[in-house]
């Protein structure tokens, strides 16, 4: 079956309390290796290809490097990158003005937090990546980000999501499987 198996990257070092989108924080190498091992086991168990796509950010890329050491093909997929939070990115949430957060919540899908990327744009980017991956005609394994995975969870739903519709972020290392059409 033509499916996407996507895992959320390991928890980055120093991310506590930060608005984290494209800020490129490191991950503990042991956690990257542990997730790579889980992906390798999943692929063996389900007869999936030994190829992994990752976000260009270190928290995804380091998992791919472990798999490459074990003979896998590792490709960076720029479309898997996390939501761009613009000027908010990498800042502590407590330093972001409540009025700015409220403006985002009021137009959750259309507002670009910190002047970065709106959720509507993220959803379009996710849809484009899914079309590209579906063209491969085989199962795809990937390591991505919570925002991307949440947009995937809402893929195909009509209308724009509100803050209440947005899923809780998947835990680090969690997998989501989606059918590629």
- The structural domains of the chain, with segments of one domain joined by +, span 3-179
The pLDDT tens digits for 85-143 are 999 999 999 999 999 999 999 999 999 999 999 999 999 999 999 999 999 899 999 99
Radius of gyration over alpha carbons of the chain, in Å? Answer: 16
Query: Is the CA virtual torsion 112, 113, 116, 117 positive or negative?
Result: negative
Give the DSSP letter of residue 127.
H
Q: Which CATH number fits domain 3-179: 3.40.50.720, 3.40.50.1240, 3.30.565.60, 3.20.20.70?
A: 3.40.50.1240
HSE, side-chain direction, 13 A CA sphere, residue 39: 39
Q: For residues 6 and 176, is the Cβ–Cβ distance under 8 A?
A: yes
Which pTM was predicted?
A: 0.95
CA separation for the pair 12, 79 (Å, rounded): 20
The pLDDT tens digits for 11-47 are 999 999 999 999 999 999 999 999 999 999 999 999 9
Phi-psi region of 111 (alpha: psi -120 to 50; beta: other; left: phi over 0): beta
Task: Please state the separation of Cα 95 from the chain's center in Å.
Answer: 24
Assess whether pLDDT exceeds 90 at residue 181. no
Of residues 159 and 104, the one with the higher pLDDT is 104
């Amino acid at each position: 079956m033509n499916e996407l198996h996507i895992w959320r990257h390991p928890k980055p070092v120093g991310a506590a309390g930060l608005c984290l989108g494209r800020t490129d924080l490191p991950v503990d190498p042991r956690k990257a290796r542990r997730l790579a091992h889980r992906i390798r086991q999943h692929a063996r168990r389900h007869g999936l290809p030994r190829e992994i796509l990752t976000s260009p950010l270190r928290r995804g890329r380091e998992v791919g490097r472990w798999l490459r050491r074990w003979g896998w093909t590792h490709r960076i997929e720029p479309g898997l990158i996390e939501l761009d939070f613009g000027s908010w990115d990498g800042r502590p949430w407590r330093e972001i003005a409540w009025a700015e957060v409220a403006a985002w919540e009021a137009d959750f899908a259309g507002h670009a937090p910190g002047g970065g990327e709106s959720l509507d744009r993220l959803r379009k980017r996710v849809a484009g990546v899914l079309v590209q991956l579906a063209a491969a005609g085989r199962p795809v394994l990937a390591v991505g980000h919570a925002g991307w995975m949440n947009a995937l969870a809402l893929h195909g739903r009509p209308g724009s999501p509100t803050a209440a519709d947005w899923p809780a972020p998947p835990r680090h290392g969690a997998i989501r499987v989606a059918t590629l059409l």
